Amino acid sequence: MCRHSAALLLLSLLLLSTPMSAFESIQVMALFSGKAMVMIDGKQRMLSVGVPSPEGVLLVTANSRGAVLEIDGKQQNYQLGSRISTQYKQRESAPEAKIWRSGHRYLTSGLINGLPVRFLVDTGATSVAMSSVAAKRLGIPYKLRGRRVGVSTASGHAKGYAIKLDRVKVGEIELYNVGATVIEGSSPTEILLGMTFLKQVTMDDRGELLVLRKRF
């Protein structure tokens, strides 16, 4: 057998013997040039580029800024401390939304009941919140279906209505029967994507990019 054929055979055997990933948790502990130390289900592994771990995690590239890991044929960039706390396949298949920072805010387009809106991500808002001007534009019968509530705003107290939105969609994530508040007047100018939506997703803040993923 020629040397080239022997090398191909060895490579094939290595690929066949590499297991599919079956871990539940992985965290990047340290980064080096061409190497990364990761914790896989509590086991510390020092990965080198091109050499898969016993769990099937392959290091594609690594430097002090981040590492690209390949798991089950899918590649993704991870920074120091990045963690997957659930099974990788479930996380990868979860619907997600990517929202880029605009100044100091995360603004994105989306849909409410199938109609286009502009959202401002606001973890301080207890619910999705909009002005009565926006609610009327969207054809939401908030006075007919809503419940009167008092609302605290930056400018003081206001009259509002607690309602349920049939559908709220951001990126690939679509949620149903989402609690919302309609505030009488023209504020807020953007619709606030508050915690009645955000508590049903995970949030990965990467500085300039916020990635939302639907919880299973």
pTM value is 0.58
The number of distinct structural domains making up the chain is: 2
pLDDT (tens, 9 = 90+) of the chain, 216 residues, equals: 555 554 444 444 444 444 445 567 788 888 888 998 888 887 888 999 988 888 888 898 888 888 888 877 787 888 877 666 545 444 456 899 999 998 889 999 999 999 999 999 999 999 999 999 999 999 999 999 999 998 877 667 889 999 999 999 999 999 999 999 999 999 999 999 999 999 999 999 988 899 999 986
3-state SS, one letter per residue, for 161-211: EEEEEEEEEECCEEEEEEEEEEECCCCCCCEEECHHHHCCEEEEECCCEEE
pLDDT 10s digits, 143-165: 999 999 988 776 678 899 999 99
Residues 67 and 120 both lie in one domain:
no
* β-pair partners for 179: 164
Write the single-letter amino acid at 147: R
Residues 103 and 41 both lie in one domain:
no
Residue 85 DSSP class: -
Residues 120 and 209 both lie in one domain:
yes
In angstroms, rounded to a whole number, what is the distance separating the alpha carbons of residues 36 and 176?
Answer: 41
Can you give the residue range of the structural domain that contains 52? 17-93
Residues 48 and 132 both lie in one domain:
no
In a domain, 7, yes or no: no
State phi, psi for 145 to the nearest 5 degrees.
Answer: -100, -15
Residue 140 structure tokens: 């939401």
